[in-house]
Chains A and B, each alone.
Chain A
Amino acid sequence: MADHENDGQRFDRLPATPAEREISGRASREEVLEWWEDRFGVPPERFEEVTFWEKGAGKLWAFSADLPSPIDAEGLGITFLRTRQEHWKPTTSGVQRFAADATKNVIELSPGEASAFAAGHDQEIDRWEGDWGYLAAAHELAGELAPIGVGLYVYGELRSTVPKGNQEELAVLDE
């Protein structure tokens, strides 16, 4: 089924449900909505106006409009999730854009931890009693919790996945 292989040069809208899947391994919209709700408590309504697309193997994009699929383009909205691996991984921009109101798996960092995280450092944090895996790492800024990016929490350690190009040495805010 050469026609149905994933084409890395174009964007295809995700099928609505697994039953409508034509390309092996491609996530469906239903599964993506379930994942955000299960992982971060982000309700499906948050994505009501957003369409989901795949370009390349497993890189999903969130586009706040709709166009006929497929589409030949360099970008379509923002990258927000990597699938086609055992544990799906949200992106920094995906968490910043869609996990601001997350209710689950958000680890609140102290000012010192937040600065270390933004600089790309891994750190021992043994107070976390929630799930292992990908967490939204957040800190308080201007009166509210703000997600900085994605941390991978395993064996008492929070690993920063902030991309190298985005890592910054930032001031430690006052407690």
Chain B
Amino acid sequence: MDGKTREAAPPSPDTTPRNGSETDKRRGTPASIMNPLDRYEPLVDDYEAFREACNRPLPSVVRVNSIKADPERVRTALDEEGVTYEPVDWHDRLLKLPEGSPGTNWAYVHGWLHGQEEVSALPALALDPDPGDRVLDSCAAPGSKTCHLADLMDDTGVLVGNDNNLGRISALRHNAERLGVSNLVVTNRDARTFALDGVDEFDGVVADVPCSCEGTCRKNPDALETWTMNHVEGLVGVQKGILRRAIQLTRPGGEVVYSTCTFAPEENERVVDHALEVEDCELVEWDAPLETTEGITEWQDEEFDDSLTKAHRVYPHFNDTGGFFVAKLRVVGDSEDETTADAAADEEVSA
């Protein structure tokens, strides 16, 4: 494990009573009576810093789109225009723009930059697709992660960007077009039953599922104000269905990245734990490039598979970002399993 990973906090006492009138109020009512972040005190290291970070606005960040320009040319263009920027220390393709809107400079107009949150770069980096791969982004709109995948694929292979919301698909289309992404098929389907003629299986899938968005509270405080446990539990069913389909669509040896922008273990570890039970897959280590903490294996009265410690939780105070969860899975299967094949090849060489 990388040195940046923090030790998980000790298992939590049950902070949300499951019976009685207090629970009933919380389950259905918009949570003016509680802030859902209160639930995470037992999980989070330096809880006060966590809450303070959640109340600060997020810095404006852009990603360099190397389909159209390399980072050096982008920095030169920003210098020529007098736009101030700061590096993001964990990734050289991300820049902070302390003075404001990413949309009003020449580099942006040329499609050399895309405004996106730092943590939203994690799913594509975790999948780390190769040029020529076949990749699916199950819940793609508005397309920041999709276009990042295209960049890592050198705009080659086949990238499918799917979303079930036709309105949001126009944002995905607009962003992909502006960034010059030409390897993208945009589809409007239910990710739980996704299929596409001509592509039977994928080398990799990103399932960045719809979630309660607690981790976006720094730019969208509404996410906390409208939070209910009923909503969370409704989402969990959808999330499980999307992740299962993602795994089924991936070739043996291929990889699936599951991510959310929420802290709720119900939507994170519980969903991945379910996939481990019902599909032929395993969690794999991924060396996250920024400070994270391990996924948890216990929450309230639930226990999750021990391998969930390989997942990553990102809290806002760690790197001054939004909140995030990311888990990387490998699909195990009967046909050519790359891991087994590689291991066999290694043995032959050493023999």
The verdict on A71 contacting B185 (CB below 8 Å), with A64-B155, A79-B177, A168-B109 known, is: yes
CA distance A137 to B102 in the complex (A): 23
Residues in chain B near residue A77, CB distance under 8 A: 181-184
The verdict on A76 contacting B185 (CB below 8 Å), with A65-B157, A68-B198 known, is: yes
CA distance A168 to B109 in the complex (A): 8
Residues in chain A near residue B188, CB distance under 8 A: 74
**B316: min CB distance to chain A, Å:** 31
Return the CB mask of B163-192 against A: 1 if under 8 Å, else 0.
000100100111011101111111110000
Residues in chain B near residue A141, CB distance under 8 A: 77, 80, 106-107, 110
Check A78–B198 contact: CB distance below 8 A: no
**Could you say which interface size class chain B belongs to?**
35 or more
**B272: min CB distance to chain A, Å:** 29
Check B182–A170 contact: CB distance below 8 A: no
Contact of A73 among B106, B157, B186 (CB under 8 A): B186
The closest CB in chain A to the CB of B172 belongs to A75
Check A148–B197 contact: CB distance below 8 A: no
Residue A174 interfacial (CB < 8 Å): yes
Residue B322 interfacial (CB < 8 Å): no
Check B80–A170 contact: CB distance below 8 A: no
Residues in chain B near residue A143, CB distance under 8 A: 73, 76
Residues in chain B near residue A79, CB distance under 8 A: 177
Residues in chain A near residue B198, CB distance under 8 A: 67-68, 71
The verdict on A73 contacting B180 (CB below 8 Å), with A64-B156, A142-B80, A168-B109 known, is: no
Contact of B180 among A65, A72, A78, A173 (CB under 8 A): A78
Residue A166 interfacial (CB < 8 Å): yes
**A77: min CB distance to chain B, Å:** 4
Return the CB mask of B41-81 against A: 1 if under 8 Å, else 0.
00000000000000000000000000011000110110011
Residues in chain B near residue A142, CB distance under 8 A: 69, 73-74, 76-77, 80
The verdict on A93 contacting B110 (CB below 8 Å), with A73-B186, A142-B76 known, is: no
**B93: min CB distance to chain A, Å:** 16
Check B180–A96 contact: CB distance below 8 A: yes
Residues in chain B near residue A68, CB distance under 8 A: 197-198
Residue A97 interfacial (CB < 8 Å): yes
Check A118–B109 contact: CB distance below 8 A: yes
**Could you say which interface size class chain A belongs to?**
35 or more
Residue A129 interfacial (CB < 8 Å): no
CA distance A142 to B77 in the complex (A): 5
Residue A2 interfacial (CB < 8 Å): no
Return the CB mask of B220-254 against A: 1 if under 8 Å, else 0.
00000000000000000000000000000000000
CA distance A149 to B68 in the complex (A): 14
Check A49–B80 contact: CB distance below 8 A: no
Residues in chain A near residue B74, CB distance under 8 A: 142
Contact of B80 among A78, A97, A166, A174 (CB under 8 A): A174
Most buried by B among A76, A141, A173: A141
Residue B9 interfacial (CB < 8 Å): no
Residue B113 interfacial (CB < 8 Å): no
Residue B339 interfacial (CB < 8 Å): no
Residue B256 interfacial (CB < 8 Å): no
CA distance A171 to B82 in the complex (A): 9
**B66: min CB distance to chain A, Å:** 14
CA distance A42 to B296 in the complex (A): 55
Contact of B104 among A62, A63, A168 (CB under 8 A): A168
Check A49–B77 contact: CB distance below 8 A: no
List CB contacts (< 8 Å) of A109-161 with chain B: 118, 141-144, 146, 148
CA distance A49 to B131 in the complex (A): 13
Q: Which 8 A-B pairs have the closest CB atoms?
A: A75-B186, A142-B76, A142-B77, A97-B180, A64-B182, A67-B198, A74-B186, A77-B182
15 contacts between A and B (CB under 8 A): A50-B182, A71-B185, A73-B186, A74-B188, A75-B169, A75-B172, A77-B181, A77-B183, A77-B184, A96-B68, A118-B106, A143-B73, A168-B103, A170-B109, A171-B81
Chain B: residues with CB nearer than 8 A to chain A?
68-69, 73-74, 76-77, 80-82, 103-111, 155-158, 161, 166, 169, 172-174, 176-178, 180-188, 197-199
**Other than the known A67-B185, A71-B198, A74-B169, what 13 A-B pairs have Cβ atoms closer than 8 Å?**
A62-B182, A67-B199, A74-B166, A75-B161, A75-B184, A75-B186, A93-B111, A96-B111, A118-B109, A141-B106, A142-B77, A148-B109, A148-B110
